[in-house]
Structure 1
Amino acid sequence: MCGIAGLFDLRGKRDFDQALVERMNQVQFHRGPDEGGTHFEPGVALAHRRLSIIDLSTGQQPLFNEDGSVVVVFNGEIYNYQELVPELEALGHIFHTRSDTEVIVHAWEAWGEDCVQRFRGMFAFALHDRNRGALFMARDRLGVKPLFYAELADGTVAFGSELKVLMQHPGLNRRIDPHAVEEYFALGYVAEPRTIFEGARKLGPGELLTIRRGQSMPAPRRYWDLRFTLDNPMSLSDAAAELTARLQESIRLRMISEVPLGAFLSGGVDSSAVVALMAGLSDKPVNTCSIAFDDPKFNESQFADMVAQRYRTDHHVETVAADDFDLIDTLATLYDEPYADSSAMPTYRVCQLARKHVTVALSGDGGDESFAGYRRYRMHLAEERLRSAIPLGLRRPLFGMLGRLYPKADWAPRVFRAKATFEALARDSVEAYFHAVSILRDDMRDKMYSDGFKRQLAGYQASDVFRQHAAQARTDDPLALVQYLDLKTYLVGDINTKVDRASMAHSLEVREPLMDHPLIEWLATLPSGLKVDGQQGKYLFKKAMEPMLPNDVLYRPKMGFAVPLARWFRGPLKQKVRDAVLGETLAASGIFKPAYLQHLVDAHQSGVRDYSAPLWTLLMFEAFLRNQAQ
Structure 2
Amino acid sequence: MCGITGLFDTRAQRTPDRAVLQRMNDSQHHRGPDEGSLHIEPGLGLGHRRLSIIDIATGQQPLFNADKSIAIVFNGEIYNYQSLMAELQALGYVFHTKSDTECIVHAWEAWGERCVDKLRGMFAFGLWDKNQQCFFLARDRMGVKPMYYAALDDGWMAFGSELKSVLAHGGLDRTLDPLAVEEYFALGYVAEPRTVFKQALKLPPAHMLLWRRGEPMPASKPYWDVRFTLNNTISAEDACEELRHRLDESVKLRMIAEVPLGAFLSGGVDSSAVVASMAGVSDEPVNTCSIAFDDPAFNESAFAQIVADRYKTRHHVETVQSDDFDLIDTLARLYDEPYADSSAIPTYRVCQLARKRVTVALSGDGGDETFGGYRRYRMHLMEERMRGALPEGVRRPLFGLLGRVYPKADWAPRVFRAKTTFEGMARSSVEAYFHSVSILRGPMRDELFSPRFKADLAGYDALEVFNAHAARADTDDPLALIQYLDYKTYLVGDINTKVDRASMAHSLEVREPLMDHPLIEWLATLPTSLKIRGQEGKYLLKKAMEPKLSDDILYRPKMGFAVPLARWFRGPLKQRVRDAVLGPRLAETGWFNRDYLKRLVDDHQSGVRDYSAPLWTLLMFEAFLRNVVDAGVERPVEPLVEAAA
Q: Please indicate the TM-score interval, normalised by the length of the shorter structure.
A: over 0.9
Shift of 1:311: 0.3
User: In percent, how many aligned pairs have the same letter?
Assistant: 74
2:97 is equivalent to residue 94 of structure 1: no
2:357 is equivalent to residue 341 of structure 1: no
1:266-281 → structure 2 map (5 Å cutoff):
266-281=266-281
SS of 1:168's partner is helix
CA displacement 1:435-459 (0-9 Å, x = unmatched): 0000000000000100000000000
SS of 1:172's partner is coil
1:440-589 → structure 2 map (5 Å cutoff):
440-589=440-589
Which residue does 1:629 correspond to in 2? Answer: 630
Provide the C-alpha distance between the structure 1 equivalents of 2:170 and 2:28, rounded to a whole number of angstroms: 17
Which residue does 2:165 correspond to in 1? Answer: 165
8 Å CA contact 2:23, 2:169 repeated in 1: no
Which range moves more in the overlay, 140-149 or 168-177? 168-177
Matched to 1:106, the amino acid is H
Which residue does 1:410 correspond to in 2? Answer: 410
Shift of 1:87: 1.2
Matched to 1:629, the amino acid is D
Give the aligned length.
630
Which residue does 2:153 correspond to in 1? Answer: 153
Matched to 1:290, the amino acid is S
1:575-614 → structure 2 map (5 Å cutoff):
575-614=575-614
Q: Cα RMSD between the aligned structures? A: 0.5
8 Å CA contact 2:265, 2:290 repeated in 1: yes
Provide the C-alpha distance between the structure 1 equivalents of 2:407 and 2:101, rounded to a whole number of angstroms: 57
Provide the C-alpha distance between the structure 2 equivalents of 1:292 and 1:20, rounded to a whole number of angstroms: 43
Matched to 1:210, the amino acid is L
Which residue does 1:103 correspond to in 2? Answer: 103
1:182-201 → structure 2 map (5 Å cutoff):
182-201=182-201
SS of 2:283's partner is coil
Shift of 1:28: 0.2
Provide the C-alpha distance between the structure 1 equivalents of 2:51 and 2:61, rounded to a whole number of angstroms: 11
8 Å CA contact 2:265, 2:288 repeated in 1: yes
Matched to 1:335, the amino acid is Y
Which residue does 2:324 correspond to in 1? Answer: 324
SS of 1:76's partner is strand
Matched to 2:630, the amino acid is A
Provide the C-alpha distance between the structure 2 equivalents of 1:168 and 1:582, rounded to a whole number of angstroms: 30
1:88-487 → structure 2 map (5 Å cutoff):
88-487=88-487
Matched to 1:12, the amino acid is A
SS of 2:577's partner is helix
Provide the C-alpha distance between the structure 1 equivalents of 2:470 and 2:220, rounded to a whole number of angstroms: 19
Provide the C-alpha distance between the structure 1 equivalents of 2:630 and 2:75, rounded to a whole number of angstroms: 30
CA displacement 1:476-531 (0-9 Å, x = unmatched): 00000000000000000000000000000000000000000000000000001100
Shift of 1:91: 1.4
Shift of 1:90: 1.6
SS of 1:337's partner is coil
Provide the C-alpha distance between the structure 1 equivalents of 2:136 and 2:436, rounded to a whole number of angstroms: 38
Provide the C-alpha distance between the structure 1 equivalents of 2:457 and 2:85, rounded to a whole number of angstroms: 50
SS of 1:36's partner is strand
CA displacement 1:600-619 (0-9 Å, x = unmatched): 00000000000000000000
CA displacement 1:113-140 (0-9 Å, x = unmatched): 1100000000000000000001011000
Provide the C-alpha distance between the structure 2 equivalents of 1:169 and 1:102, rounded to a whole number of angstroms: 28
Shift of 1:173: 1.5
CA displacement 1:413-455 (0-9 Å, x = unmatched): 0000111100000000000000000000000000010000000
8 Å CA contact 2:185, 2:440 repeated in 1: yes
Shift of 1:170: 2.3
Which residue does 2:640 correspond to in 1? Answer: none
Shift of 1:365: 0.1
SS of 1:471's partner is helix
Provide the C-alpha distance between the structure 2 equivalents of 1:232 and 1:410, rounded to a whole number of angstroms: 42
Shift of 1:629: 1.6
Provide the C-alpha distance between the structure 2 equivalents of 1:218 and 1:330, rounded to a whole number of angstroms: 35
CA displacement 1:190-220 (0-9 Å, x = unmatched): 0000000001000000000001001111100
Matched to 2:289, the amino acid is C
TM-score, normalization by structure 1? 1.00
Q: Which runs of 5+ in 2 are unaligned?
A: 632-645
Which residue does 2:636 correspond to in 1? Answer: none
Provide the C-alpha distance between the structure 2 equivalents of 1:299 and 1:225, rounded to a whole number of angstroms: 37
SS of 1:279's partner is helix
SS of 1:342's partner is coil
SS of 1:167's partner is helix
Provide the C-alpha distance between the structure 2 equivalents of 1:520 and 1:173, rounded to a whole number of angstroms: 38
Shift of 1:111: 0.3
Which range moves more in the overlay, 343-352 or 162-171? 162-171
Provide the C-alpha distance between the structure 1 equivalents of 2:595 and 2:169, rounded to a whole number of angstroms: 38
Matched to 2:512, the amino acid is E
SS of 2:168's partner is coil
Provide the C-alpha distance between the structure 1 equivalents of 2:506 and 2:605, rounded to a whole number of angstroms: 35
Provide the C-alpha distance between the structure 2 equivalents of 1:409 and 1:308, rounded to a whole number of angstroms: 40
Provide the C-alpha distance between the structure 1 equivalents of 2:14 and 2:391, rounded to a whole number of angstroms: 62
CA displacement 1:52-88 (0-9 Å, x = unmatched): 0000000000000111100100000000000011211
Matched to 1:249, the amino acid is E
Provide the C-alpha distance between the structure 2 equivalents of 1:31 and 1:283, rounded to a whole number of angstroms: 30
Matched to 2:586, the amino acid is L
Provide the C-alpha distance between the structure 1 equivalents of 2:287 and 2:87, rounded to a whole number of angstroms: 35
Provide the C-alpha distance between the structure 1 equivalents of 2:391 and 2:568, rounded to a whole number of angstroms: 44
Shift of 1:359: 0.1
Provide the C-alpha distance between the structure 1 equivalents of 2:90 and 2:41, rounded to a whole number of angstroms: 31
Provide the C-alpha distance between the structure 1 equivalents of 2:391 and 2:434, rounded to a whole number of angstroms: 20
CA displacement 1:554-611 (0-9 Å, x = unmatched): 0000000000000000000000000000000111111100000000000000000000
Superposed structure 1 runs of 4+ greater than 6 Å apart: none
Matched to 2:11, the amino acid is R
Which residue does 2:642 correspond to in 1? Answer: none
Matched to 1:429, the amino acid is S
Shift of 1:391: 1.6
